[in-house]
Structure formats: C-alpha cells, structure tokens
Amino acid sequence: MKITKIIELTDQNFKKEVFLASKYVLVDFWADWCGPCKILSPILEEIANEYLKKIIVGKINIDTNKKIPIKYSIRGIPTLLLFNKNKIIGTKIGVLSKTELKDFLDKKLLD
C-alpha cells in the first residue's frame, strides 16, 4: 500500500481542511481523465514529503466535487491554488516541473 502525505479534499471537508489549517495549503484541482494531472501527481507527492513541516498538500477531484471548483472559477486543470488561512496567495495553472513548483512555493512562503 502506497503511503501518501496528500489529503483528499471534498466539497464537504474543504473549509475544515483548508481554511482552518495551521499551515499553508496547496490545493490541486484535478480529474482522473487529465493527462497533465497524472504527470503532476508524483511531483506533488515529493513536494508533500519535502515540505511536510511547511505546507499541507491536498487534491480535489473536479468531477466528484462541483461546488469548490465553481467557487474558485477553475477553468482548466491541473490548477494549483496556495492558501494561507482562507486567502489565495498564489495560483499556477498547468504542469510544472518540480523545480518550478519549489521556486513558486519558496517565493510565496517567504512573502
């Protein structure tokens, strides 16, 4: 069984897991049929492990959870939103390399 540090987000638990989190939360909006999402997934696994003390990584499937993607006007996937409490402090759309994602996170975590 694969051990993951990524949490599964839903329309029901989003507020609790993201807005009430004690750390920054990186949310990945994705779907099973999305090829670029599959490319990004192992990178997010590595980031979740490497940034364990700084951020929480969560994934929300846009096909099974409709309310949250609509609330944040998600038009393309993968879309990454970085939250601090209930505010979006960064957005990335599309596939990123691990280096690009780390650069994005490092810059935002220092702001």
Strands 79-84 and 87-93 come out as antiparallel
Active-site residue (options: 37, 44, 48, 96)? 37
Global pTM value? 0.94
> What pLDDT band is residue 2 in, cutting at 50, 70 and 90?
low
* Whole-number pLDDT of residue 85: 85
Whether the per-residue pLDDT at 111 is higher than 80: the answer is: no
Active-site residue (options: 34, 40, 43, 55)? 34
83 is catalytic: no
Percent with pLDDT over 70 in the chain: 95
Given a contact cutoff of 8 angstroms between Cβ atoms, the answer to whether 52 and 5 are in contact is yes
* Whole-number pLDDT of residue 1: 41
Tell me the C-alpha distance between 52 and 44, whole Å: 11
Residue-wise pLDDT for 58-86, tens only, equals 999 999 999 999 999 999 999 999 999 88
37 is catalytic: yes
* Whole-number pLDDT of residue 3: 57
49: closest CA among 109, 103, 110, 102? 102
As beta bridge partners, residue 30 has 61
| Amino acid identity, position 82 | L
Higher pLDDT, 2 or 43: 43
Q: Which CATH number fits domain 7-110: 3.30.1360.200, 3.40.30.10, 3.40.50.720, 1.10.8.60?
A: 3.40.30.10
CB atoms within 10 A of CB 48: 19
Average pLDDT, the chain: 94
Sort 7 into a burial class: Cβ within 10 Å, 0-12 / 13-18 / 19+. middle
